[in-house]
Amino acid sequence: MIKKILLPTDGSETAGRAAQMAVDLAQRYHATLEIVSIIDPMPFVSFSGGEALSFYLDAAEKAAAEGIARAEGIARVGGVEFASRVLREHGPAQSICAYAQGNACDLIVMGSHGRRGLDAVLLGSVAQKVLTLATPPVLVVK
């Protein structure tokens, strides 16, 4: 039985589609949503005296807030109970999996950008890593 659904969001179009799917499932199973956005505080080594890192963190905080607000709006329209938070941790996939396990989530619903080839190698796929590491089932929305 699905009682709690984890919805990681990055604010993208695919994350919006995943939010709608998560809300639909939450309605059907009378489940609650856990909405999270992950900010990796150290995504790269800055050689410019910290200015680039500061710019990145400001932009990441804004993007996380916007992504969560969008998912919360979809949940409100659907009449689904939710909680949301921003996680500031290294490794988005590992953070998603740890959060799911630590908060007794029964399902993870997340978007995938569908990167392939060199893009997948260079940028990685958070969804692919979550599929590999997660304990609960994962529904990937494209």
Query: pLDDT digit string (tens) for 26-35?
Result: 999 999 999 9
Q: Which has the higher per-residue pLDDT, 124 or 137?
A: 137
Q: Which pLDDT score, from 0 to 100, does residue 121 have? A: 47
CA–CA gap between residue 76 and residue 130 (Å, rounded): 26
Q: Which has the higher per-residue pLDDT, 127 or 43?
A: 127
Question: Which residue from 71, 65, 63, 60 is spatially nearest to 109, judged by alpha carbons?
Answer: 71
The alpha carbon dihedral of 33, 37, 64, 21 has a sign of negative
Give the domain CATH number at 86.
3.40.50.620
Q: Which pLDDT score, from 0 to 100, does residue 117 have? A: 52
The range of the structural domain enclosing residue 106 comes to 4-141
User: What is the count of structural domains for the chain?
Assistant: 1
Q: Which has the higher per-residue pLDDT, 104 or 44?
A: 104
